[in-house]
Structure 1
């Protein structure tokens, strides 16, 4: 059993399937063998017993017809009927002989052979009696022939019929026996096949349960180990009792567990080194803090220059406020000009609409002119055809006059629209003149703004002088500030990174549980870094230009 457990899973599955397949194959072969036997019994019935019975019955029926024609021959007086019955008897006897010979191919047992020989003997005796009867009848001795036919010949025919009936019964009994044999084979085969199928199902279920137990148990144990490792428990024992794939998996999990224990030890030892490095970085930050304080005292010297700059900036602010008021006034004037321009646009739109109407009317006039031309042409054609009787010409002339009237009306409408457009154009001209005056006011306001901006420019010159003094003071400390800022930034980033890594490592390895004797002593708390100098305040003040004098 242990050897089977150590086989590969594929080999186990293969052996199980081969066992089920072998039993299933045996069931199939046994069923095929039994079906072949049943089929052979059915073939015997269909190809031997039934045809032989039919052939015997055919011999009996043909013999009876032969006997009837023989009697008809004896009692007939017409030469034509005698010849006809003679021909019929000859044909029937030929059929009897053929069927008799063919029946020999169905004989297989001694009983059938003896019955067949007895039938042949009776048939020969009957043939001899028939020959004697026919000889007497042909010699004109029909009365004697009839007496012979109703005597010995009748007895032979009855014995012949009885022998055929016995042979038919033999074939019938043999057919029934073959049928019973086929039924017995069927019942036996059914019982065996059902039993073997039940055995196959039982074997398959047993193998399936065994394989499930052999394969599932190690997998369940492997899942439990993996879950324990995921939860940080490294104290679980892993035992592998087989060498198949599941056993190899458990061995691999055992090696993984040992490797994780080793890694956790190393990580916990590494956190001590990280804590030491964090302390050294904190010391460096203290030095940088002192430098930053010294630099802050130098920055205070720039406060006086910034006061001067503040006064100048205030003056510029007042001038900017006045410039803003003038700009607002100029905006109002510009808004008025915009309204005037909007009115001009509306007027131009109305003129445009009138122009479109004029275009439409002109289109109507063009259409009328075209129709007038066609009517005039029709009138000329009609007048040419009518000669002196020009009634059609009169009708055409009336249409021409109507079209001319429409042209006159359209011309009047065009005139009115043109006059209306002229009036609107005059109004637009007046509005444009008003807009020009408004633009002049805007120009005047802009000039005032320009004067104020000149004062702002003068104040900016004074601001520039003050800023130059500030730049001289700031340039002396710029290099030191940049160096210190870079060092402080790097040191702070390094310290923060180390602290985060140390904390992350501590949190990561804290979830793992080791066996007793493997636990390490707890690490000391990570030292808090020294607070860095308030460089943000200094940098912000330098950028905004606002300093406080101390």
Structure 2
């Protein structure tokens, strides 16, 4: 029963842990995946709502920009006549009674409308009755020239047809908050003035009040200088237009929004949202055409509330289902454990009653299959015991034969060990002889190497001798050439002496002394020529002998080279013999080690054979013991009573 309680407790704890794990997993999935996606979808709705408001405001502003551009175009095309201007422009300024239009007109440059006139503006304003009326106040000399106003100066640098929106301001006369669209116009490609339309901010405030609550909050607008055009709950009834930063003194919670506007961030969270009095998310939109900024204030609960609601509803549905599954699993586990406990008791009875007992089958489900499997196992166990009994007899017989064979194997192993020892001694003697041969071959190789070196040096000396004789032969040729030159000089001298004698004979008595000298010169030249011929003959004879000696030296050099080649070949053969002897020595050493290993292994085999013989004897004893145990078990089965009914189905 303790096992049942333990498994039941484990199943209960596992089911409870599974329920907690599933609940935690569902909550984690919703928190990490579901809620961010729902929040992202909510933020996407906020983005679309803000873009829709921006587009609607841009449409209204574009209408004003178009009307202002029409005023500028008309001012460029109309003749400069005051009556025509007063008739043509009021309808465009009125824009079919559009209450958002506070006024508008044409503001020419000095001397541009009429020569010599500095101020000649045409301005129409909407009166208290909503009608457009002409005002000539801005042409008075007692006020500042309109040419110096910022809206006028900013339009000077604009492209033709481009609207330059002024910052928000409050009209000094009417006190109405407004913005001005200024478009330049040109005459003969020169700047001639500015066309303007003033738009009341009250219309923008009404539009945002009606459409800014689409996300459950409100909308506000700032101009390009950061001045507040519309902000619910803020006191804007002052002479000067306030900036968003000016409102933080009364609304400190706006500080994060001011920082976001200044840094260019689009999303910011605030702890309270003024008139909403609850945490909110602020989304800022840039209006590219005007440079304005639209802010959409959305309660935080509108962004994250749907995600939390979905998570709560999902947990409300899932948790009861998980609890029901837990109860059903626990109940089914208890039923299964009771059935397993019943089968366990019957298996215990089977073990106590011997292998002849069988389990009763009351069911056709998995429990019945389990009992059938136990019965099949018991039947196989009975056959196994019979087979083991037969095998134990065979093992006992074979163990006796193994012990006898091991004794004979031990004797043969000892003989093999003795033979290996004799072989090892013979291999050691052979190794000594081969090593001595290798040493002799190494010594002979050294002697041959020395002889080869000496013969090579002798060959080099013979080669140098042949080179010296060749050099002497070349020098003899040069000397022969010099002797030929001397012989030629002697011949020329003899000719000159002969000519001198002829000239001396012609001179008569005066040339007699010179004739004697010429005769002596001829004698010397003749003797020099004779000596030169003798030297030349000796040199030729010497050259022939040197050539013969050079041939002998070359033959000797060739013979020395052949001797060196033969000695090197002998040295190579001796080196091969030495290497072969070394390899034989190494091989014999390997054989010696192998024989030693074989001897060691043989000794180990002898020990193993002895151990195997002991193991065979022990195996025979254990086989007899196993046979005795099987006989006792079978006798117990024969003494056990017949199978009795076991516990019924549970």
TM-score (norm 2): 0.31
Structure that is richer in strand per residue: 2
Structure ranking higher in helix proportion: 1
